[in-house]
């Protein structure tokens, strides 16, 4: 117990917040915290980068857009690097889709993560490889209007929407 208190005191004296979002996320720091809080545990390993703390609370948002024949719309979430979201979208008809991201401050440059020619739904998890907006562009290639509904839960700052009808 005394060793744990000493280790905890060393962390606090060094000004290292124990659970703050901006605390160091390396295995050595995590191992020191584990020993200070719970004592040395046989067989314990550490993978601190597996957790990306967030100062934001997770949010769930649903957006619906209607695509006129031959038209497209884009919905993106603004995320910091390493932050993620869980998503599901469905469409009333086939749409071409490009899941992509744009770095903060970029002009006319983007990175595609997944492209499909004709799809009615998509679901998964996404972790932003860089800070910026990340999301979907859907294009209706049919002769009938298509409605797309997207639900995301994540640590996004806001949704950005371009095109389509509400």
Q: How do the pLDDT tens digits run along the chain, 166 residues long?
A: 344 334 434 443 444 444 455 566 788 888 888 888 888 889 888 888 888 787 878 999 999 999 999 999 999 999 999 999 999 999 999 999 999 999 998 888 999 999 999 999 999 999 999 999 999 999 999 999 999 999 999 999 999 888 766 5
Strand 146-154 relative to strand 72-79, pairing: unpaired
Helix (H, G, I), strand (E, B) or coil at 12: helix
Domain spans in the chain, listed from the N-terminal domain onward: 2-50, 59-163
Task: Evaluate whether 152 touches 77 at the Cβ level (below 8 Å).
Answer: yes
Six-digit token string for 152: 């995301």
**CA–CA distance, 163 with 136 (Å, rounded to integer):** 12
Number of neighbours of residue 11 by Cβ within 10 angstroms: 18
- Going by CATH, does the domain composed of 59-163 fall within 3.30.420.40? no
Provide the whole-model pTM.
0.76
């Amino acid at each position: 117990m005394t060793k744990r208190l000493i280790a905890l005191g060393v962390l606090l004296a060094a000004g290292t917040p124990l659970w703050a979002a901006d605390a160091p996320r390396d295995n050595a720091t995590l191992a020191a915290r584990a020993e200070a809080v719970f004592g040395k545990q046989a067989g314990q390993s550490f993978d601190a980068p597996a957790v990306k703390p967030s100062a934001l609370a997770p949010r769930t948002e649903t957006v619906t857009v209607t695509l006129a024949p031959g038209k497209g719309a884009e919905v993106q979430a603004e995320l910091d690097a390493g932050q993620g979201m869980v998503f599901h979208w469905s469409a009333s008809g086939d749409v071409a889709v490009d899941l992509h991201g744009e770095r903060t401050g970029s002009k006319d440059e983007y990175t595609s993560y997944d492209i499909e020619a004709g799809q009615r739904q998509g679901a998964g998890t996404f972790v932003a490889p860089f800070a910026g907006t990340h999301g979907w562009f859907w294009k209706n290639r049919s002769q009938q209007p298509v409605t797309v509904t997207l639900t995301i839960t994540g640590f996004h700052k806001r949704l950005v929407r371009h095109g389509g009808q509400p």
